[in-house]
Amino acid sequence: MAKKKTPVNDTNLAGGSFTGVDEVSNFGDRLARYGQARTRALGMLNHLRGNPTSESPKAAAGLAGCGNYLHFREYYTVDKVRLHNAQFCKQHLICPLCAIRRGAKALGAYLARWEVIRTERPELRPYLVTLTVKNGDDLQERQTHLTKSLKRLLQHRRSFNAGLRGHAYTEMCKAQGAVYTLELTNKGNGWHPHCHMIVLAASEPSQSALSVEWASISGDSFIVDVRPITGDPSEGFMEVFKYAVKFSDLSLADNWHAAQLLKGKRLLGSFGLFRGVQIPESLLDEPLDSLPFWDRFYRYMGDEYQFTGESPKSHQYEVEKSKNLKVAK
């Protein structure tokens, strides 16, 4: 399957952020996207400095130190480039560079689990299910409405599966496992939280039946979408794991507001066969230990990552590498 190429001037950083990431042939695009992500993070940094709050100094310090250097290793015998070292702020709701890396790690972890599941349960197929609630001006209220409605839908599934008396069948009973994220947009018509879910099922959940159920649960929205994930599963799965990168489509003020409101909230959940998948803590790539490599150092300068012959070791790199140091210079 042909890889989608994201134009480097595309402001939607979520597009094509994860697939084929370590191929040498994709490295230019990848580096350009990381550069755009870093530029957006610096936009947020300036926004925070211009609109200080009690929370902003710490966030700003993190952003200032994130991704100034990227140390890649090119494994030239297999044409792969892996991110070997960098300092990250791990504020993925306001830093699209960290969001891209975290999304890639989550995608990798769930794809690996799917590979195991599909050999054990060949009858199952993945479906992308989207559930929405009506737009509104109060993000907190809309977000709570979405999470409560989702909880009720999943409770219906559990109750029926457990054979509890008086609990009706739901289309979600077809799901043998699922992973989902909560995403939000605001395109000028109010906040629009929604849920993207990968459902593993032996037969396609009915969109119309699910729509009726969802309308009765949510009380304000019948809009759901169900479609099979065909072809390269990483393309379909990506739709779910780019939720944090999508924050960078919001205005800076909206992005900060949403990040403050959702800080500490769980935006990714799973059940059934997808329960218990561990997403690695590190945002770096796994090294290919036994293979020879060239080191490639890049530094963010003038809106993009530029190759630099200098080893960042001569700067504060060694200090930054120390795990105790989260806040930058």
Interaction site with Zn ion (CB under 5 A): 66, 88-89, 95, 97-98
Nearest distance in Å: CB 128, Zn ion: 28
In the bound state with Zn ion, the residue whose beta carbon lies nearer, of 89 and 245, is 89
Nearest distance in Å: CB 255, Zn ion: 13
In the bound state with Zn ion, the residue whose beta carbon lies nearer, of 95 and 124, is 95
Cα gap 68→305, rounded to integer Å: 9
Nearest distance in Å: CB 236, Zn ion: 27
Nearest distance in Å: CB 283, Zn ion: 8
Nearest distance in Å: CB 32, Zn ion: 17
In the bound state with Zn ion, the residue whose beta carbon lies nearer, of 98 and 259, is 98
In the bound state with Zn ion, the residue whose beta carbon lies nearer, of 99 and 224, is 99
Amino acid present at 160 = F
In the bound state with Zn ion, the residue whose beta carbon lies nearer, of 4 and 49, is 49
Cα gap 193→188, rounded to integer Å: 13
In the bound state with Zn ion, the residue whose beta carbon lies nearer, of 187 and 263, is 263
In the bound state with Zn ion, the residue whose beta carbon lies nearer, of 111 and 328, is 328
Burial classification of residue 112, based on how many CB atoms lie within 10 Å of its CB (0-12 exposed, 13-18 middle, 19 or more buried): exposed
Nearest distance in Å: CB 89, Zn ion: 3
- Cα 154 to chain center, whole Å? 22
Nearest distance in Å: CB 88, Zn ion: 5
Which residue in 240, 242, 245, 269 sits closest to 259, CA to CA? 245
Q: How far is CA 217 from CA 136, 191, 212, 245, in A?
A: 18, 20, 9, 29
